[in-house]
A = this chain, B = another copy of it.
Amino acid sequence: MATDDLMSKALAALDEVDGPMSVEVIHRLVDVSAATDPMTITEAADLLDMSPHTLRYYERIGLVEVGRDASGHRSYDAEAVRRLVFLTRMRLSGMAIRDLQHYVRLADEGDDTVPERLDLLLEHRDTIRRQLKELTLSLAATEYKIATYGGHTGPSSVGKA
């Protein structure tokens, strides 16, 4: 499993936090990406834990703009990476590509669209919250079933093949 990508690092960081999340803590989690030198497509892909194919696809459908170097190769600068981090977070929490295209279109239109973007985010926040509840329920159901099968519901089954 890739353990060097941003999501893995953020998840690890999340484990260290158990108190209520202060703004700084969230910021630390969200902003795992320090300003960095431009990268090649494979570097960006590794960082984001996705394939170069997918990165090109995202660019093609207008989710992100990427510059080129002297020989025509993509060059992912800090801004592109930041946007991609955001996009993958939203994707992982179930936002549809179509909605991301909409959001990005708004973002590119400037500050006038902030209220509308805010609406989209608020809606998505509710979606995530609902998912969290459903997942919690599924976890309970799974653990319940595990218990009836005589399994122990320990911290993790890490270490299995």
Number of copies: 2
With a CB–CB cut-off of 8 A, which chain B residues contact A147? 23
A93 in complex: contacting residue of B29, B134, B153, CB < 8 Å: B134
Question: How many of chain A's residues have a CB under 8 angstroms from any CB in B?
Answer: 54
With a CB–CB cut-off of 8 A, which chain B residues contact A132? 132, 135-136, 139
Where chain A touches its partner, the secondary structure class is helix
What 1/0 flags go to A113-147 for Cβ under 8 Å of B? 01001110111111011111111111111111111
Point out residues on A near B: beta carbons under 8 Å.
7, 10-11, 14-15, 21, 23, 26-27, 29-30, 86, 89-90, 92-93, 114, 117-119, 121-126, 128-147, 149-151, 153, 156-158, 160
